[in-house]
Amino acid sequence: MADIPFKAIAVDMDGTFMTDDLTFDHDRFKKLLKKIKENHIHFIVSSGRPLARLRNDFAEFLDEIDIIADNGAILVRDNNIISSHFLTHKTGLELINFIETKYPSAHICVSGKNASYFKNSSPTSFKRLMHFYYPNFIEINSFDEMPSDERVIKLTLNCPAKWAEDLEKEFNDAHSEHIHCTTSGFDDIDIVPYGINKAQALKYFLRYFKVAPSELIAFGDGLNDKEMIELAGYSYAMGNGDERIKEIAKYEAPSNNESGVLQVLEKYFA
C-alpha cells in the first residue's frame, strides 16, 4: 500500500455516497472503513440530511465516524452533538411567514432541535419524501403550532433552486439575523443560519484533529458542496455531479450509481 496522502475524508450523501435508490453497499463500506481506521484516518459524513436520518443510515458505524448534518449546522463526534447552530425562535417564524407570503408555492419542512415539522396540507409526494429524510417528523396544520421552545436549524423547501439567491437577499435585506440559502441542484433549497456551510463545519473538525485542509479528501455533487470542495486538498466531483462543481474540483469520480466514492477510496487503500 502506497502512502495515503490524506488524513481525513469528507463525503456528501445524496448523489454522492448514496446511489439513486438511496442506499449504499454496507459490506463494502465496512471493509473499507476498517482500513481507514487502521491508518488513523477520520471519516466524516458531510450532508444536508438531518441528524436523525444520518443516524439511521450509519446505525452500525456511529462509533467509527463523525457527522456533519443539516449542511453544517450540527456536528457529531462519538455519536454526541458537539456543536449546533440555530435561528432564534422569532427569526425562524418570521422566515417561515416570509416564505409562505412571498413564495406560496414552496412546500416547507422545518428541521428543529426537537423534531421536524411539515404541514399536513402538503402534497402527498412531498410528505412521502419528508417521511424518509425526517424520521422524527410531526405533521401540523400551521407552523404556529410548533412548540414555543423549538429552534429552527434548517428549512428545506421544495421549489425551483433558482429562487435561492433572490430569497436570501430579500430576507437578509429586511432582517438583522441573516440566513444562507444553498441547493443541491434539484428542485429544493436548504436554508441555514448565515455563515453555516459544510466547509466551516469541516474546519472545526480539522482543527480538532490537527489536520490541514491540504490533507482532506472530499467528494460532492451539488452546489451545497461548493465550499467543501474548495477547501479540500484532494477534491472529487461525482461523474453525475453539477457541471459547476466539476469545474471547481481537482478530480472526477465515477457516478454515485457506480459507487464512485468507494471506487476511488479503495484504490488509495489497495
Domains annotated for the chain, with CATH where assigned, are 8-84+196-268 (3.40.50.1000), 89-193 (3.30.1240.10)
Summary mean pLDDT of the chain? 95
Q: In the predicted model, what is the mean pLDDT of residues 121-146?
A: 93
Percentage with pLDDT > 90 across the chain: 93
pLDDT of 147 reads: 92
Which range, of 22-31, 102-111, 142-151, 181-190, averages the lowest pLDDT?
181-190
Is the per-residue pLDDT at 186 higher than 90?
no
pLDDT of 2 reads: 67
Q: How confident is the model at residue 183 (pLDDT cuts 50, 70, 90)?
A: confident
pTM: 0.93
pLDDT of 48 reads: 93
Is the per-residue pLDDT at 229 higher than 70?
yes
The DSSP result for the chain, as a single string, is -PPPS-SEEEE-TBTTTB-TTS---HHHHHHHHHHHHHTT-EEEEE-SS-HHHHHHHTGGGTTT-EEEEGGGTEEEETTEEEEE----HHHHHHHHHHHHHH-TT-EEEEEESS-EEEETTS-HHHHHHHHHH-TTEEEES-GGGS-TT--EEEEEEES-GGGHHHHHHHHHHH-SS-EEEE--SSS-EEEEETT--HHHHHHHHHHHHT--GGGEEEEE-SGGGHHHHHH-SEEEEETTS-HHHHHHSSEEEPPGGGTHHHHHHHHHT-
Q: In the predicted model, what is the mean pLDDT of residues 91-99?
A: 96
pLDDT of 1 reads: 58
First CA to last CA distance, the chain:
6
Q: How confident is the model at residue 239 (pLDDT cuts 50, 70, 90)?
A: very high
Is the per-residue pLDDT at 152 higher than 90?
yes
Q: How confident is the model at residue 209 (pLDDT cuts 50, 70, 90)?
A: very high
How is residue 109 written as a grid cell?
A: 419542512
Is the per-residue pLDDT at 83 higher than 70?
yes
Give the Cα-Cα-Cα angle 240, 26, 4 (nearest 5 degrees). Answer: 70
